[in-house]
C-alpha cells in the first residue's frame, strides 16, 4: 500500500487533472509502474493480477486519504464531492428517522 500511496501522491502533485478524475489517476499510476500505451491486454491483466500494478481501489483509497490530509493535493471537485456526501447522509438520516 505504501508503494501505491507514494505513486499516487507524486501523481497528484504533478498532474492537476488527476486530482478530480480517478480513471486518469489510475492510468497515470500504472504508467509509473510500467504500463505502456500499446501494451497487450493480456500482459496488463497478468501484471495487475500478480500485483505489479496497483488495483484501482487502492489507488482511489490513497487519493481520498491524501486529499483529506493535504489541502494542496485537492482538486476543484473536492468540496463539491464532500458537500454531496453530506447532503446524501443528511437525506438518508431523515428517511431512516421517519421509519422509526
Q: What is the pLDDT of residues 16-34, one digit of tens each?
A: 999 999 999 999 999 999 9
Q: Return the closest-CA partner of residue 63 out of 100, 95, 26.
A: 26
Helix residue ranges per DSSP H, 19-77: 22-32, 41-50, 56-69
Residues 82, 80: Cα–Cα separation, whole Å: 5
Q: Residue 78's pLDDT is what? A: 85
| pTM of the entire predicted model | 0.76
Q: Within 10 A of 63 (CB to CB), how many other CB atoms are there?
A: 25
Q: What's CA 32's distance to the chain center, in Å?
A: 15
- pLDDT tens per residue across span 39-92: 899 999 999 999 999 999 999 999 999 999 999 999 998 888 777 766 666 676
Angstrom distances, CA of residue 5 to CA of 9, 34, 90, 95:
6, 16, 31, 37
Residue 9 has pLDDT above 80, yes or no: yes
Query: Taking the domains of the chain in order of start, what are their residue ranges?
Result: 2-75
Give the pLDDT confidence score for residue 62 in this predicted structure: 97
User: Cα–Cα distance between 53 and 93 in angstroms, integer?
Assistant: 38
Amino acid at each position: 500500500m505504501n508503494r501505491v500511496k507514494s505513486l499516487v501522491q507524486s501523481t497528484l502533485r504533478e498532474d492537476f487533472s488527476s486530482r478530480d478524475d480517478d480513471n486518469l489517476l489510475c492510468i497515470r499510476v500504472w504508467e509509473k509502474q510500467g504500463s505502456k500505451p500499446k501494451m497487450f491486454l493480456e500482459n496488463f491483466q497478468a501484471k495487475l493480477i500478480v500485483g505489479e500494478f496497483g488495483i484501482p481501489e487502492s489507488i482511489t483509497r490513497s487519493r481520498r486519504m491524501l486529499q483529506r490530509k493535504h489541502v494542496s493535493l485537492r482538486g476543484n471537485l473536492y468540496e463539491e464531492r464532500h458537500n454531496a456526501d453530506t447532503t446524501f447522509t443528511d437525506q438518508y438520516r431523515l428517511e431512516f428517522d421517519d421509519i422509526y
